[in-house]
Structure 1
Amino acid sequence: MGSPQNTTRADATAAWVSAGHYVTYVPADRSGEWVTVFEPEREIIALYGEDAAALSQAWLDQVLKEQIIRRVPGGMADRWEDSTEPVAGSDAYYAQMPRDPAQLINWILEYNGDFNLGAEETGVATFLIQELEWNVAPADLRVAMYRALSTLSNGVVVGTEGTVVTLAFPTYAPNDRWDEISIDTDTALVTRTSVTFGSGGTIVPDTVPNSRSTPSLSIVDSAP
């Protein structure tokens, strides 16, 4: 969903939903090169408001037109300059996270250190959801992450479909932001995550999130 003025959904007079994708190749040896391919194609899949068609086309004319390939040794993204922290996604990165759920929550609070006062629990939920949606953490750590999520008091089950359970966590203020995660209980993999900011607008339905990710996992012989 986008807008030239980047307004809130409560005040929006036009909005649209666009879809695109990227692929991250994770080597069997995590110390090897991680490759992420960002594809330029974008598709408009929903329009809201009288001016949405024209505005969305103008937005499409401005977005990326070329494929980008990012190569990072040993993890998902380069370290900040002069950082000594392990690269996200590396064995060292996950090794520092406790496998006990309570200890893991304390580690997240210390690791981030900048959650808003009174929003620490929802900050933990956001961190865990962002980590889990990659589906690349070691199995024993994913178990600890799921158990840590289950101990948070602000989590609610908002849907089940077959083996997939969807949980939602309000962040910062009730109904101001919702982080959702859908988990396949057969595979322990994440099938969808989303973030929704606010509600109450007349243009965009409350059921349409601000962003949604639908990760999938497959095994290939090589990366580009």
Structure 2
Amino acid sequence: MTDRGAHNPDRELDEALAALHLEARMSDRPLTDAREKLMREAAAEGPPASKSPFRRRGLVVGVAAAAAAAIVGGVVVIGGGGGAPAQPVAQPTTSQQPTKRDVSLLSASQVLNDAADKITAKDPELKPGQYRYIEVKGSYLRGFQTGTPQEVVSAPTGYTYLADITYQTWIPRDVTQEWLEKRVPGDAKLIGSSTPASEVPAYQPMDTDMGERRGACGDFFPKAKPKKVCGDETDMGQPAFYENLPRDPDQLLAWLEDYTSQRGSTPGTMFHFGIQFLDSGIMPADLRGDLLRAMAKIDGVKVVEEATTPDGRKGLALGLDGDQERRDLIVDPDKGEVIGERTVAKAQADYPWIEAGTVTGSVSVTTRVADAIGVVPAG
């Protein structure tokens, strides 16, 4: 998932920005102010915040993926302890491999514009009693760290797991009514530590990475501050946010630049938030193509490689490099679908025990129509 952006300019308040509360996630104030507020409210109900300002890893309809890191007294906790590492996923046989594209011949602008041209999806028409079902399958950073990479006297120590979590959300036809969200933890894989792996605690999911929550307008954490407001046009987790956005690539690009102005309006920030919006699960179908065309105009985006999402779909990864990580959007160029996102560590990663090139987060999103709340529709 992950600034989501991609993409984050302090990126990067992780998955948790959306989950914790709107102000911390969307505030116009500098990220340092947002972080201080998150720390003061760390005890409030809701996921802890990540140290990376863009990272959201698992945002779904303002329901945000659970927090990546909580910083208290110089100790950074990213998720829970440790447990059985994830079992390796069986790789397809050679006969199952899709035809390889020569990505060196493709430009990001070409791929994004072609994908926009091929979009045929329509917004679901919900009948009375039906729900929009959004499923996010993702892998998120969880672990523990003391110190910071910037410290000179004391080098940081800790460990990091990549934990699988599935978020299932049911949104009613009348969005002011009760929503349901379920979080289902899966396997976890140790991707690095400052000590031998045998000394790393077994992984244990956080409370915010599991369980069932209900709330009108998706207010799953009612004790979070500020209070979630139904129909808030500044809350990217609510349909109202998207209603008045321009339906023109150039105007959208200008809006995106203005929207990220407090974070420098850098290409990485803009690319990050574009991915966040596309992966929200509630962006209207008529806006997706224009946003893809707007993102095609962002400097520095390149076609990286063929990639597979957590739910097994295959597409092309289009990435934008930052100092600490590369943020990728994954599209199916044949169907014009945005099928996922991921982040890949660079040499100056947040956590020095994570090797460059390691996938540090990935997300895939699917939406369907459910006939009743809590019922998973057939795929």
TM range (shorter): 0.7 to 0.9
Whole-angstrom distance in 2 between the partners of 1:35 and 1:125: 30
- What is the count of residue pairs matched by the alignment? 215
Flag the structure with more relative contact order, 1 or 2, with Cα contacts below 8 A and sequence separation at least 6. 2
SS at match of 1:145: helix
1:77/1:149 CA distance change after superposition, 3 Å:
farther
Please give the residue correspondences for 1:20-59 in structure 2 after superposition, counting only pairs within 5 Å: 20-39=165-184, 41-48=185-192, 51-57=196-202, 59=203
Q: Aligned partners of 2:303, 2:319: CA distance in 1, in Å? A: 6
Retained in 2: the 8 A contact 1:25–1:35? yes
Deviation of 1:44 (Å)? 1.8
The question of 1:164 aligning with 2:315 is answered yes
Residues 75 and 190 of structure 1: CA distance in aligned 2, closer, same or farther (over 3 Å): farther
Structure 1 unpaired stretches of 5+: none
Equivalent residue number for residue 300 of structure 2: 154
Cα displacement string for residues 140-179 of structure 1 (whole angstroms, at most 9, x for unaligned residues)? 20011110111111100012369722110123xxx43311
Residues 155-206 of structure 1: per-residue CA shift (max 9 Å, x gap): 00012369722110123xxx43311110123443332212234326885343
Residues 44 and 56 in structure 1, CA contact (< 8 A), matched pair in contact too: no
Counterpart pick for 2:328 among 159, 170, 180: 180
TM-score after normalising by structure 1: 0.76
Q: Which moves more between the two structures, 196-205 or 101-110?
A: 196-205
**1:93-114, Cα deviation, whole Å (9 max, x unpaired):** 1112111112112222333431
Q: Distance in 2 between matches of 1:91 and 1:2?
A: 30
Corresponding letter in the other structure for 2:216: V
RMSD across aligned C-alpha pairs, in angstroms? 3.5
1:47–1:53 Cα contact (<8 Å) kept: no
Identify which of 345, 360, 375 aligns with 1:210: 360
Matched residue, 1:136:
282
Matched, 1:105 2:253: yes
The answer to whether the 8 A contact 1:30-1:75 is kept is no
SS of equivalent to 1:214: strand
- 8 Å contact 2:306–2:317 — kept in the other structure? yes
CA distance in structure 1 between the partners assigned to 2:187 and 2:334 by the alignment = 32
CA deviation vs aligned residue, 1:73-125 (integer Å, no higher than 9, x gap):
27898894497842434443111211111211222233343113xx5222111
Letter in 2 for 1:113: S
1:189 matched to which residue of 2? 337
In structure 1, C-alpha distance between the alignment counterparts of 2:316 and 2:247, rounded to whole Å:
23
Instruction: Kindly report which structure 2 residues correspond to 1:57-96, keeping only aligned pairs within 5 A, or say none.
Output: 57=202, 59-60=203-204, 63-64=206-207, 67-73=211-217, 80-81=226-227, 85-86=232-233, 87-96=235-244
Q: In 2, are the aligned partners of 1:16 and 1:56 still within 8 Å (CA)?
A: no
SS in 2 for 1:219: strand
Tell me: CA distance 1:82–1:210, structure 2 relative to 1, closer, same or farther (3 Å): closer
Native 8 Å contact 1:76 1:88 kept in 2: no
Q: Could you tell me how far 1:35 is from its partner in structure 2?
A: 2.4
Change in CA separation of 1:152 and 1:66 when aligned onto 2, cut-off 3 Å: closer
Asked if structure 2 preserves the Cα contact closer than 8 Å seen for 1:16 and 1:52, the reply is no
> How far apart are the structure 1 equivalents of 2:348 and 2:228?
45
CA separation in 1, counterparts of 2:287 and 2:219?
A: 17
How far apart, CA to CA, are the structure 1 residues paired with 2:145 and 2:338? 33
* Residues 47-72 of structure 1 deviation map (CA, whole Å, 9 limit, x = unaligned): 54563354241x41x72285131423
CA spacing shift, 1:190–1:27, aligned 2, 3 Å = farther
Single out whichever of 82-91 and 214-223 deviates more from structure 2. 82-91
Mapped to 1, the partners of 2:214 and 2:199 lie a distance apart of 32
Aligned-residue identity in percent: 19
Partners of 1:146 and 1:210 in 2: CA distance: 24
What is the CA–CA distance in structure 2 between the aligned matches of 1:132 and 1:89, rounded to whole Å? 11
More deviation, 155-164/93-102:
155-164
